[in-house]
Structure 1
């Protein structure tokens, strides 16, 4: 009996050691893959996980990658004004806004995702909401901000953002809704696109509802208040 018990303990210990070793190896390869992706995505067109999911399920994707120089400064400033007004002053995570949300007595009633966090989510993580995903967004956003810099973060964001069913990126959105290139977007058109981002499936920038008109009006006002605070993302 003693020999059998000892054998079972040894078997259990061996299994735990194998699982632990396997987890370490998996973690190593995941970190290595992330580092490679961060370096590679600094220079090449980047897909989002939503786009990859559509390709894998044979659903259409409409996206034309364009460099930041071919995207109107109006749209760059509009998304900053709408989504992340402190974009140029934080390092990927807006700790002021995040702390305010976490300290809300009624519990988190709004998001605190920066543009960098949204970019990290779109490129590296899965859709949907969970504390696990949010916890991963924070370090990924900080690393992305350091590795890519502000202009590249905005460039990636504006090329992977969803603006309709299967419609991704500023160029495809500008062509679809306004029949023009992203470089020629007016402030009003840019504000409509930015105002549609919280609900891109239901909001049509080409035929704005009253709700979208109201949202785009708020974006325009914030663009006027932004001043030079959004210039860090403009192409040099």
Structure 2
């Protein structure tokens, strides 16, 4: 029995090593979240593109909205985590402190939802992909796999879905509109923005001026 357990552990470890190595060179064939979207909405719109084919506007917009210190941290933004804890302790709206690296680990390897088990795995994967993949690969995987609408995944599919054009051709304003729906893409629609989304869009537009791609 113990030998079978050890063999299973070795297989799981080897599979993870291969999956991480694969992920450095290729986008995921499918993710758990994408399968969930397909089951829930009966569609899976995605169109993987390379880092260079995404265009700079959408990269800057998403970085401005989600993780402005992405190129400076090691996968964990301790200042953001501290602010999130303070905000949540004060009874304000639940606020997360996850970086794009953490979200990539979750989106590519894990499942959605809140649990300490998933968070633990997310931490391990985040640490590894920061070491093995590097920033450009992490950002490319994130922008290709992130949920950006009901059954819509990645910035290329989102660009075509909302604006009928490729991500590399998005204007600054259009890119900012796509970023406004994060982190609640099922709830918000840039085609029918609320007062909150309009305000967030203007804020992202201003913040994009502070983003430098490396």
One fold, TM greater than 0.5? yes
Instruction: Indicate the residue corresponding to 1:26 in structure 2.
Output: 8
Q: Does 1:164 align with 2:149?
A: yes
Does the CA contact (< 8 Å) of 2:61 and 2:175 recur in 1?
yes
Does the CA contact (< 8 Å) of 1:92 and 1:117 recur in 2?
yes
Instruction: Indicate the residue corresponding to 2:187 in structure 1.
Output: 202
Q: C-alpha deviations, 1:9-38, integer Å up to 9, x for none?
A: xxxxxxxxx3x5544433322221111011
Does the CA contact (< 8 Å) of 2:88 and 2:95 recur in 1?
no
Instruction: Indicate the residue corresponding to 1:123 in structure 2.
Output: 108
What secondary structure, in the 3-state scheme, does the structure 1 residue paired with 2:45 have?
coil
Q: C-alpha deviations, 1:48-84, integer Å up to 9, x for none?
A: 2211345578932111111111112011011111111
Q: Distance in 2 between matches of 1:193 and 1:105?
A: 27
Where do 1:46-85 residues align within 5 Å?
Answer: 46=28, 47-54=30-37, 59-85=42-68
Q: Distance in 2 between matches of 1:21 and 1:219?
A: 55
Q: Distance in 2 between matches of 1:198 and 1:105?
A: 17
Tell me which of 15, 18, 24 is aligned to 1:42.
24
Does the CA contact (< 8 Å) of 1:189 and 1:205 recur in 2?
no
Q: Distance in 1 between matches of 2:176 and 2:88?
A: 32
TM normalised by structure 2 equals: 0.89
Does the CA contact (< 8 Å) of 1:174 and 1:180 recur in 2?
yes
Q: Distance in 2 between matches of 1:209 and 1:105?
A: 25
What secondary structure, in the 3-state scheme, does the structure 2 residue paired with 1:136 have?
helix
What secondary structure, in the 3-state scheme, does the structure 1 residue paired with 2:148 have?
strand
Uncovered stretches (5+) of structure 1, i.e. residues with no partner: 1-17
Does the CA contact (< 8 Å) of 1:78 and 1:194 recur in 2?
yes
Larger radius of gyration: 1
Give the Å deviation of 1:105.
7.9
> What stretches of structure 1 move > 4 A for 4+ residues in a row?
20-23, 54-58, 102-105
Where do 1:183-202 residues align within 5 Å?
Answer: 183-202=168-187
Over the aligned positions, Cα root-mean-square deviation in angstroms equals: 2.2
Where do 1:78-227 residues align within 5 Å?
Answer: 78-102=61-85, 106=89, 109-226=94-211
What secondary structure, in the 3-state scheme, does the structure 2 residue paired with 1:163 have?
strand
Give the Å deviation of 1:40.
0.8
Does the CA contact (< 8 Å) of 1:101 and 1:107 recur in 2?
no
Q: Distance in 1 between matches of 2:185 and 2:39?
A: 22
TM normalised by structure 1 equals: 0.81
